[in-house]
Structures are given as structure tokens and as C-alpha cells.
A and B are shown apart, each in its own frame.
Chain A
């Protein structure tokens, strides 16, 4: 057992007579290094559970329901369902017996890291099964005592322990045991013994979401709650100095204006009153200079800043030096906004040195720490109660809004709900950074790539997130978020390298679903198409001939072959005037290949169909894997074809849906086919990998029709 070295269980009686099973993990040193390793293209992702506090995972209720406290948040990716399936199979209970809840930071099994990076299922795959199996054995052992039957005569099924003509439910047993004996971890079952894992189980949150009964951060309320709103500058690099609040104070409904050294906010009796009063606050800002998009673009240039070679094989410099003849192309991607539908915010109540906060966040523990630091209280006195997230996509790794709501609540001694407006969501986002890529290659006369080089210049991604503190940056060496997907995945090429150029931009940049994967794959896989055409080869065959013979290579090869077969991929124009484009990527150990079928009319590209082949290792829930592929394809189409933020006189624009063009119903492909390949690997990541190849697949298809190579996202301007 390599991921979890030692553990200790905590057993106690829960509220309402349920038995609580907790576990302590000891992470030891090397956390940072493993965290980093978890983000390399092929490394396994470690479980980074809490190392200090007892953690509640399961409560067995007297009615035989199992409450499972999830350390991962549900943001649409279906993780509640997948984790419940995994736990239910070792617990030996039915899915209907599982109730999944978000673990609050004070009493739950809080993740030290985050929900993100397509790592949730993989990181909990083994620890969760071991915990569930231990829970089951423990209940069975006590059932044996209570029924006076030898434990080896007993079996478990559907939450019932039975044998020798006797039976008790887990709930019965739990309510009759006062002192629990924790057994050693039993061995886990073979995958073919599982009943729930591998099945397209309906999402556990489906019905509530269809009824509109779900509670998101924006819906959270506390008794006697007021509404807050913080003044935010629309300008890049603005630092708050002071504010004239005299007019705002007189506005109807205003309870208090809160002036802090770093921000000013208003508290009022309603959302509208707070926002109306906010517009009357005259804040002064320090602004160093006026920025324009053209300056940002000129900063993002391969060759500027500090290069780090992130991958090297053979001697690419011997073929791609200044004196050599080689093929080269440049690609660009724009600034992207998260544009998740639920704005960021929090409901906070600070009283008697304790803070309670309800909110949507991907970083529960980090948020608790930030609030504690600001309030000058201990982290154990901060309880973050996570709600469902109205989209995450990396945006909710940044949660200073919790601190703001807490500070305002403290100022009035009542709960305060404080949310971003949509304009603030756009202008104060932690953006997907723009990128610039230079690719170089040397082709042999036989159409074989002899040398390939990918250079990516990007604003910060991982370095821009709170998950990698400044002190950890030298350990990492380069921004692995920026170059995610930027390595060469065709290992049969004898000489190749990838180089990352870091640029610090004047506005916040960070994680955006799949990090650098979208832009890097767009560049590399478009270039592969260019090379295939120069080599007079079918682009699918051309890729296959450059794949190395090993496990990762086999998996990549299989997804390409599967996508080709399912789509009937051809590299000439189809009879209806449409064309197909192919592209592939490997991310968090998950290879994906897309074939896009497009038409181009009046210079407008339309994506009619996408065929996706994905190798997920073990498929926990095929329906939700499909859902993630479909969603990634549509979000990828949106980003690759339409979305773009510009800096105009230091203001990031546009600041509303519509002008910020995104894919709508009419732009989504009417056909999406997903082929799920499996193997004997552990379950891999699914939430981001299918975003990778979509931009290149579309651009490659459009080229077949137009003969013009579009090397800049968004493709449709």
C-alpha cells in the first residue's frame, strides 16, 4: 500500500445514534513533491487527506442509511455519485442507502489540497475502498457477537449481516454497540466482484437538480442575514487607497459601510440596496500604468522571459539550430474567462471568535486558513460548510470572498451574504492566461519526424494559484500548469523537446479547466496536421507511426484507432462538403482522441459531430464519463471558437455574456459519440482530458475545406 502509509481509526457515536467512522492519515514529508508529481502527465495523483484532525467518513444511521461525507466537492463532475459507488461496493450496501454530503471543515474529512485537476476519483480509489471495507468488517464482527454466531458463518449484503438463519441490519448493529473494535484493513475485492462500480448509475443529485431544490452558495441563508457588496476596481493592477463614503451612507437600506485597509464594502438590508449603495462609494485607487491588449500580446512571446526545458529526448538541437532548415509555425491563444454561472461569494457569520461560512469552494481547507488569518483566530474556529458549486472550472480555487464576507459580518455581528456581480466576475476573474507557441520540426524524405520542438510562452497557471506558494516554486522548477499538455506525446520521434517560457502578467491568471492542455494541444496537434500534410500522409496514420511501443503508447494508439473507426475518419472532403479533423492528447494518464466533422459557410465554422475515444483506465460510471466528455467538448468548442477577453485602457472586457461570446445551444454539435476504452489501470481523470484535442480537431477539419491554416484561437472571429 504505497499511497497511505499508516492510519488510525476513530470510532464514536454520532448524532442520532449513528456510528461514525473516521480515519487519520499521516502524510509525512514529501507532500509537496508528490503534489507536484500528481500533476505530471503520467504520474499517479496522491491522496492528500488531512493529517491532523480526526476525519469523519461514514455514519451508519439507525434506519440503515449510510451518510458519506465527501472530502471532494460536487461541481457538476459527478464525483458524489462516483465516490458513493466506490464506497457502496466495499460497504456492501445499495446505492439507495448512500447519502452523500459535503464534509464541513470542522468535522469532516477535509482535503488538504483541492477538488480539481481531474484527480478526485483516482486519488480516493484505494483509501476509500479500504475505509469502506474496514467499516463493513467491523460491523460484521460486532454483528457476530450480537447474534452469537461465528463471524466466518456471516455474510454481508444490502446493508444486512446474515447467516445461520439470523440477520441484523448495519443500523441495528450500530445502535447496539457501545465500544467498537477496529479490525485490520481487510483485503479488497477483485473488480469483477463489484456491483455498482462500472455501472451507469444515475447521478445521486439528479432529482433535486431537476426540481430546482439544490442549494448552491448563492442560495445559502442564515437567520437575520444582511447583504454585503465590496467595491472592486475594474482596472488592471489597481490598489485600493481610500474611499469617500458620505453619499453611500445616506442610501436607503444601508446598515454599515465597512472600511478596511485593503477594501471597502457596504452592508445593507437587501441585495439591491447593497449594490445601489456601492455605486455611490467613491473609491480611490493607485494605478501604475494604462495597459492595452497589444502590450500583453507582446509580453507573451516565446524567447522572452526565462526558459525551462521540461522534456528532452535525443538531440533536437542538432536538427533545429539556427543554421538548419526546418519547418516552423506559430500559434496563439487568448485570455479566457471562467464565466461559470454561479457568481462567487459567501455567507458568513462571525461571532464570539468563531466563523461559520457557507459557500461554493474548491479549496475548503485553504479558505478556512485565509479566514482564520484575517480574523486572527485559530483555524479550528472556522467552519467552512461547502455547498454545491454552480460550476468550478478552477475559478473557485480563489476564495478571498470568504474573508471579505467574514470581515463584514464581524463588523455588524450578524450574518452577511456577499457576492460578486457578473461584471465583477468578468473583470476581476483569475483568467486563463494567453499563450504563444513556436513549433519546429525536421521531416525526413520518408515522411518521418526526425526532430520536434514545442515552445510555449504563457502567463502563470499553477504559479498563479494559491495551491503553490512562492516557496514551493523553486521545487517545481517550472509552471507545470502552464505546460500541461505541452509535452510531446509521440515517443517514437528520435529527437524532441518541450520548452516553457514564463511570463508574469499584470493581472491575475490561474487555473481554467484543463489548465494549459487546451492551448498546448491546439498548437501541437495542429502542427502535427501540418506535418502530416507536408509528408503527404493521412493525419491519423501519421500520428500512429510516431507512437512509441510501450504502455502509454499503446493506450494512445488505441484511442486514435477507436476514434478513426467509430467516426469513419477520412482526410479528404466529404460528399456533403464537410470535412473531418483529428487530434489527440494525453492528460492525467488519460489519452483522448477527437474527430470533429465541420462545415464552413460564409467563413463560419460549424461543428456538426464530434467522435471522442477516451481510455479512462477503469470506468467507474460510464454515463458520467460520457457526460464529462460531452461537456468538455462543448466547453472546448466555446473556448476554441468564440471566447476572448481583451484589455482596453486597463479594463478587461467584455464583462457580460453575449459580448463575451460563448457556445450556445445552436453552436453545440448535434451528434456526440463517446467510445470508452478500459484497461486494467486504476481509474484515471475524466473531467479535463477531453478538452485537450477539440481546438485542433476543429482547426484541422476547417483547413481541409478552406485550405487556410488558422493558428489563432478563437478560430471564429
Chain B
């Protein structure tokens, strides 16, 4: 079926089986490879992107539900050359190791900060449940707090 939505501010129209996970449409049809496949069962969070500002695990999100929605992926998180506060904080804390899970974490964090501008450690524990095998959680926690600071500082 034909499905139309906006991705990173751009209108697109795709012709796909309605049940195809949004992840594969984003990666293989729209060629945006920053959103990763990790498990296909919404268990790891590597495929996290935003649907109307909400963090969604796109491997288990049928593309038909994207109809008319605003989708944002890691490629659209920055505003032009200006990195998103979460990305700035990730740079400052030098968070990524292998980097594979990081877009999912950054997208989850960006959505968290929209809901809770100053998350406590408990808020982070409760809301950030993606998996990082390299074990970068320690730096991520620091980066999440730092991102909140950057975001809350008027520029």
C-alpha cells in the first residue's frame, strides 16, 4: 500500500506491505542507515527513532502506522550544522565505542529530555533501557545529564 509521511522534515511516499517494519523502510528504501537493526523484537533499542516526537522501536512498528506522521531519525536530530544537545554532550563525554547502539540511545535520550528536562539518575534508569554491549553506560549517564544542561541553557 501507499504510505506517506515526513521524515526528517521531508515528505516521502513509499509503496510497501503495510506490515513491513518501519525500520526496513527507513534503512533499505529511504537509505537512512543511522537507525540500526539489533534484534527485530523491540528488545534492544538500537532501532529507536521518533514518531511525532515519541521514542519508538521501529523494528516492531508497522510502516502503515507511520501514515501522516513526523518521523525523525539520528540523521535529522541535528539542525543543519548545529548538533542536537544530546549529540553535543555525547561528543563532550566521548561516549561511543563501537557506536552501533549509540543512535538508538541518543534518540531515546532526546525524547526523554523533551518529557523530563532535568532527569534524575532514577529517571534515567527508568527510561533508558536500551542495550550497549561495549558497556558505555557510565559515560552515557554523564552525557545525559550534560545534555540536559546544554538544552536548558539559553543560547
Tell me the A residues contacting B by CB distance below 8 Å: 75-78, 202-203, 205-207, 209-216, 218-219, 221, 270-272, 339-343, 388-393, 419, 421-422, 623, 627, 630-635, 638, 656-658, 662-666, 668-670, 672
Contacts and interface: CB of A to CB of B under 8 A. Distances in A.
B13 interface: no
Given A209-B102, A212-B75, A665-B128, A656 B134 contact: no
Interface in B70-105: 73-75, 77-78, 83, 87, 90-91, 94-103
Interface in B37-74: 37-41, 43-44, 46, 73-74
A631 B74 CA distance: 23
B28 A631 contact: no
15 contacts: A202-B94, A209-B99, A210-B90, A210-B91, A221-B31, A270-B28, A340-B98, A341-B38, A341-B46, A388-B99, A421-B40, A627-B136, A634-B136, A634-B138, A662-B131
A391 B135 contact: no
Given A627-B94, A664-B130, 15 more contacts: A206-B91, A210-B87, A210-B90, A211-B74, A211-B83, A212-B74, A213-B75, A341-B46, A341-B101, A623-B94, A657-B131, A662-B133, A665-B141, A668-B137, A670-B138
A634 B141 CA distance: 13
A616 B131 CA distance: 29
Contact of A656 (B27, B43, B74): B43
Nearest to B102: A209
- Most B CB contacts (10 A, CB to CB) among A212, A219, A419 go to A212
Q: Interface extent on B, as a size class?
A: 35 or more
Interface in B4-36: 17, 20-21, 24, 27-28, 31, 33-36
Interface in B99-152: 99-103, 106, 121, 124-126, 128-141
A630 B91 contact: no
Contact of A391 (B87, B98, B103): B98
Q: What DSSP secondary structure best describes chain B's contact surface?
A: loop
Contact of A207 (B43, B91, B130, B139): B91
A627 B43 contact: no
Contact of B100 (A339, A391, A422): A391
Contact of B98 (A270, A389, A422, A623): A389
Contacts of A388: 98-99
A270 B16 CA distance: 11
Task: Give the secondary structure class of A's interface.
Answer: loop
Contacts of B125: 665-666
B96 A203 contact: yes
B94 A658 contact: no
A211 B137 contact: no
A510 to B, nearest CB: 17
Nearest to A666: B125
A544 B78 CA distance: 53
Which among A206, A341, A669 has the greatest number of chain B C-beta atoms within 10 A? Answer: A341
B135 A664 contact: no
Contacts of A657: 38-39, 41, 43-44, 131
A635 B133 CA distance: 7
Contacts of A627: 94, 97, 136, 139
A203 B136 CA distance: 14
B37 A631 contact: no
